[in-house]
């Protein structure tokens, strides 16, 4: 079995896979007569295919235990997928590079409190992976016609976090 260390989530490390959604360093400005601060354009929503439209959903994920057995990843060839925790969830983001249509060199990131991610269109990634307790996430992704899901099962699973 392959092993995969868990890295802290940083914008630079995650850049090949999408964007980190966080307030720190974000462009922001006051609105509503100064009563609200708008943190603007935090991620790039990508919509492709026939009749695309953005979806806003809430996913309630059940917790996984570490070490985690990573057997499968998926990707969405027609749109990006953003995840932002609605509480103080501990969770993992697992992504992988693409090589000739297959996921290679997976990486596991642990977001800090207040961090979410936007996984770019067609990027291999693991499933929603809360740790320790059930957790709710605001999810922005793509609706519309066409098949927007590909799955890959690893011949040799990975062990994430020991």
Domain residue ranges of the chain, discontinuous segments joined by +: 2-160
d(CA 98, CA 9): 20
pLDDT at 162: 67
Residue 81 has pLDDT above 90, yes or no: yes
CATH superfamily placement of domain 2-160 = Ureidoglycolate hydrolase (2.60.120.480)
Return the DSSP state at 96.
E
pLDDT at 33: 96
Which DSSP string do the residues of 28-77 spell out, in sequence order?
Answer: EEEETTTTEEEE---S---B-SSS-EEEEEEEEEPPB-SSEEEEEEEE-T
Return the DSSP state at 64.
B
Backbone angles phi, psi at 42, to 5 degrees: -80, -15
Pair 114, 148: CB distance under 8 Å: no
For tokens 């990486």, the residue is 107
Rounded average pLDDT over 113-139: 97
Question: How many C-beta neighbours within 10 Å does residue 105 have?
Answer: 11
d(CA 6, CA 67): 10
Please report which confidence band the pLDDT of residue 128 belongs to, taking 50, 70 and 90 as the band edges. Answer: very high
CA 4 to each of CA 64, 66, 95, 119: distance values in angstroms, whole numbers, following the listed order: 16, 12, 11, 19
Rounded average pLDDT over 122-143: 97
Rounded average pLDDT over 10-32: 97
d(CA 91, CA 111): 7
CA 58 to each of CA 92, 113, 162: distance values in angstroms, whole numbers, following the listed order: 17, 18, 30
pLDDT at 97: 98
Rounded average pLDDT over 96-117: 97
Among candidate residues 74, 60, 80, the one with its CA nearest the CA of residue 154? 74
């Amino acid at each position: 079995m392959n092993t995969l260390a868990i890295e802290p989530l940083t914008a630079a490390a995650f850049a090949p896979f999408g964007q980190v959604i966080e307030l720190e360093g974000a462009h922001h400005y006051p609105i509503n007569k100064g009563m609200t601060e708008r943190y603007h354009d935090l991620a790039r929503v990508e919509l492709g295919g026939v009749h695309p439209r953005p979806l806003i959903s809430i996913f309630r994920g059940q917790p996984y235990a570490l070490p985690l057995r990573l057997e499968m990843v998926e990707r969405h060839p027609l749109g990006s997928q953003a995840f932002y925790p609605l509480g103080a969830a501990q969770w993992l983001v697992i992504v992988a590079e693409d090589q000739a249509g297959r996921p290679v060199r997976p990486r596991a990131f642990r977001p800090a409190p207040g961090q979410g991610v936007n996984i770019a269109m067609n990027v291999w990634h693991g499933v929603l992976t809360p740790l320790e307790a059930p957790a709710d996430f605001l999810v922005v992704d793509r609706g519309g016609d066409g098949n927007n899901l590909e799955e890959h099962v690893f011949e040799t699973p990975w062990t994430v976090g020991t």
